Structure 1
Amino acid sequence: MKTIINTNNSPAPIGPYSQAVAAGGLLFVSGQIPMNPETGDVVTTGITDEAIQVMENLKAILVEAGVNFDDIIKTTIFLTDMQTFAQVNEVYGSYFTANFPARETVQVSALPKNVNVEISVIALKA
């Protein structure tokens, strides 16, 4: 059985998918982009602000699902420019304290709405 997780505190999906799905003790969170959930506007004030918005969007979904960043076991970071890795990594790292999740970071040619960063996560959900 699967449970669909959605919250108004993170941007609504821009396609036929859910913000997150819980199944088999895991939570699969769809990739989040730097979109402000209140306005629907994409954050364009720099990669650091974009990364913060992405992490806040992820946080809202995690909270709705009853988990937190400590429960994340795997992340995937998509960047349109690997030169922004250090700034994104600094923001990303500030949301974790220890026992960091597994992760990969990949450069892609484009992301939805022409954003520069997207992050998806998998977490344990008891």
Structure 2
Amino acid sequence: MERSIIHTEHAPAAIGPYSQAVRCGNTVYLSGQLPICPQTKRPVNDTVEAEIHQVFRNLRAVAEAAGGDLSRMVKLNAYLTDLADSPTLNAIMGEYFTAPYPARAAVRVAGLPQGLRIEVEGILLLD
């Protein structure tokens, strides 16, 4: 099966040997997005709410570059440095997703790059 690499200037560029997303057939695997503004290349980390919104804006940009949108997301993995932020994550997710919601895992991690509080990766299914 042929793979195609997805890239957009509307989300932060990969900072290592990986792609923003890879499409394989009708499935797109989105790399983890951090709350980094693609224009300034700086973290958006004044509040956890600001971080979560930026992560979902970045995921939306990559999904759109792949030819889809967040409504086509089937699985999300959220990595949080503090699981006490889960209710905030849930509330903000409700602003970006409608039923039927994607499957999701939320995992506490010891740390994330640049001292950020959240990273989210996903799987998108296209028609």
Structure 1 length normalisation: TM-score? 0.97
**SS of corresponding position for 1:94:** helix
The aligned counterpart of 1:67 is 68
The aligned counterpart of 1:19 is 20
Residues 14-93 of structure 1: pairs in structure 2 closer than 5 A: 14-93=15-94
**Counterpart amino acid of residue 101 in structure 1:** P
In the alignment, the residues of structure 1 paired with residue 10 and residue 95 of structure 2 have an alpha-carbon distance, to the nearest angstrom, of 20
Q: 1:23-48, CA deviations, whole angstroms, 9 ceiling, x for partnerless residues? A: 03100000000000000100121000
**Counterpart amino acid of residue 34 in structure 1:** P
**SS of corresponding position for 2:104:** strand
| Displacement after TM superposition at 1:101 (Å) | 0.8
**Counterpart amino acid of residue 81 in structure 1:** D
Q: Which stretch shows the higher mean deviation, 43-52 or 84-93?
A: 84-93
**Counterpart amino acid of residue 123 in structure 2:** I
The aligned counterpart of 1:99 is 100
1:22–1:125 contact (8 Å) kept in structure 2: no
Unaligned runs of 5+ in 2: none
- The count of aligned residue pairs is 126
| Displacement after TM superposition at 1:114 (Å) | 1.6
| Displacement after TM superposition at 1:8 (Å) | 0.3
Unaligned runs of 5+ in 1: none
Q: State percent identity of aligned pairs.
A: 39
**SS of corresponding position for 1:17:** coil
**SS of corresponding position for 2:89:** helix
Structure 2 length normalisation: TM-score? 0.96
1:2–1:23 contact (8 Å) kept in structure 2: yes
